[in-house]
Amino acid sequence: MTDTIAPPSSSSLRIGADIVPQGVRFRVWAPEARTAHVRVEADDGEYELAMAPEDGGFFSCLAAHARAGERYRFRLDGGAPLPDPASRFQPHGPHGASEIVDARAFRWSDHAWRGIAPAGQVIYEMHVGTFTHEGTWEAAIDALPALAELGVTVLELMPLAEFPGRFGWGYDGVCLYAPYHGYGPPDDMRRFVDAAHALGLGVIVDVVYNHFGPDGNYLPAYSRHWVGTRKSEWGDAPNFDGPHCAPVREFFAGNAAYWIEEFHADGLRLDATQQIFDRSAEHILKHIVRRARAAAPQRNVYIVAENEVQNADLVRAPERGGMGCDAIWNDDFHHTARAAIAGRREAYYSDYRGSAQEFVSALKYGFLYQGQRSAWIDKPRGSPAFDVPALAFVNYLENHDQVANSLRGSRLGELLAPAAWRAATAVLLLAAQTPLIFQGQEYASTRPFLYFADHAPGLAGHVRTGRARFMAQFPSIAAIGDIETLPDPADIESFRSSKLEAGERGSVRGAQALALFRDLLALRREDDVMSGRRRTRLDGAVLGERAFAIRHFGSDGLDRLFVVNFAVDIAFDTIAEPLIAVPAGCRWKLRWSSEELRYGGAGHVPLDPDGAWRLTSCAALLFVAERRSGTEESA
């Protein structure tokens, strides 16, 4: 049975260093320690204060003369000084001293901001360190107006918690309350969020609660109870259900609330939730979601989960036995799309044919695997999700993992013929599910995105070997067993080459891609039926091996017909499929084509739905039902 602990009732009861009217209150959990001290590095020299023991294994003290900007560490039982587990800033990395931060000093201008609701969102995944050449919050702010103008609504930030080294993805974070120092001080992140809100952009933070990073994690030095009995795929997992787990649970739930309270984040992306282990009466994920929402009762808090096994309970309401998240990543859509348009058939793609039927089913039902056996893992995959609304599935053609899971981190625009890339983009952005765009995708960036991590030499070797072992599941990668041919994650060039090149936006290719994204997102946002405002239902039909149609039924009978062909040209004299029949008293009018000249297309109209049907290869078309005039009807 899980023990419980009440959440802090005031800011003065938080762990870490908290500025209060009397000075700075320090508090730390170290249940096995007999004594604890805080060593403060003040402007006029160092001093040390004894901390008083409290119930539950906590120690605290008040430093009357400490102030923001000063550094500090804790010492347990006279041992070496340690950074604060709940440090708000590590200016010299996770091994250095912690810095006192006045979280209330920043002047926000987003008082009217009300957060982001689940409907109508377009997510943009961003890695701050590679999003701009400078790799800082300050530089990223300058790029935000272009994203807002494009039609993006939510920025999903790859993990921000302090990690070791000069660069990394962030999934091995070790100081969960400290934004990575290489991107800038905490107030720079606040300025970024404030600027995003001013432009109508929400911000959610990718958080990693499934394992502890291997370098710079000092939590076990404070208590053996931080680590659970089970290991995740990436290392030690937190103790969410064992003895003395209550402070551990509060640490993580409080962290979820922290990003929303102190940085005005609009929600979270929960990483690899299938590797979060908990047998408590209230699963830690449900606890985290509840605390995150309570952190901003006047705002809409948006929570997305990643779950490799596709457990739909994550997006069901708690009263229905669910975890209460708003959305879940949908690998099935990505895998079938890659199988169809890029010919991937190996490793985890081997369960997909990329057929028209798979596209239709993914666009209708979200997950393709809802409990059937997967040949790749040789066991059932997924869970029933027919009751889950479309907007709760997050679809993507690229994300950080899937781009990097190739030999050279190649972008999809580099791998595909332009026509196929345009058609696939249309499927992503006009689907009823919530789309996710990976940074640079909107202008068909040619910059790779590699796996990079700046670990110490010994650990770096293990990481390199592990990466090669992971990539060995893809037989097409010639580097199997030869780690020297793979880009080295610890090589700074792996990081530098992954930085976006802003000049690509202004190239002919970049301008054409931006026009494509801008027009599709405008359709998604402004068309009453495609936006879902007046859509009553949708259905789909297979027209060929990799050709299909999706019909969006409008409440006023003025439907939309979305037709896609990824195969060779197809000609029909007749089609025995009612979904392409024109509504009574109407005609199909072409609203949008992926072959338009401004996108780099051929410029021709690839289909006349009123005559014999001929589907041009690698094209996507959107038709609207338009009422015929009285003259046309009488004729």
- Reported as a single tens digit per residue, the pLDDT across 186-238 is 999 999 999 999 999 999 999 999 999 999 999 999 999 999 999 999 999 99
**CA angle in degrees (0–180, nearest 5) for 602-606-610:** 155
The pLDDT value recorded for residue 11 is 37
- Spatial separation of the C-alpha atoms in residues 557 and 39, rounded to whole Å: 72
What's the pLDDT at 1? 33
Per-residue pLDDT tens over the stretch 314-341: 999 999 999 999 999 999 999 999 999 9
What is residue 284's predicted lDDT score, i.e. its pLDDT?
Answer: 98
306 is catalytic: yes
- Rounded Cα gap, residues 334 and 357, in angstroms: 15
pLDDT at 4: 36
pLDDT at residue 180, as a whole number: 98
Residue 278: active-site member: no
Q: Which of 236, 306, 326, 454 is an active site residue? A: 306
pLDDT tens, position by position, 239-248? 999 999 999 9
- Each domain of the chain, given as residue ranges in start order, spans 11-99, 340-388, 536-634
Q: Which CATH class is domain 11-99?
A: mainly beta
Residue ranges of alpha helices (H) inside 3-121 are none
pLDDT of residue 635: 47
Q: What pLDDT is recorded for position 310?
A: 96
The pLDDT value recorded for residue 607 is 66
**Which pLDDT value is given to residue 574?**
79
- Tell the CATH superfamily of the 536-634 domain: Golgi alpha-mannosidase II (2.60.40.1180)
Closest to 305 (Cα-Cα) out of 278, 277, 274, 270 = 270
Q: What is the C-alpha separation between 287 and 452, in angstroms, rounded?
A: 32
C-alpha–C-alpha distance, residues 422 and 553, integer Å: 24
Which of 156, 215, 250, 271 is labelled catalytic?
271
pLDDT of residue 608: 64
Residues (pLDDT < 50) of the chain are: 1-13, 634-635
Same fold flag, 11-99 and 536-634:
yes
- Give the start-end residues of each E strand in 150-191: 154-157, 161-162, 175-179
CA-to-CA separations, 290 to 65, 222, 318, in angstroms, rounded: 37, 27, 10
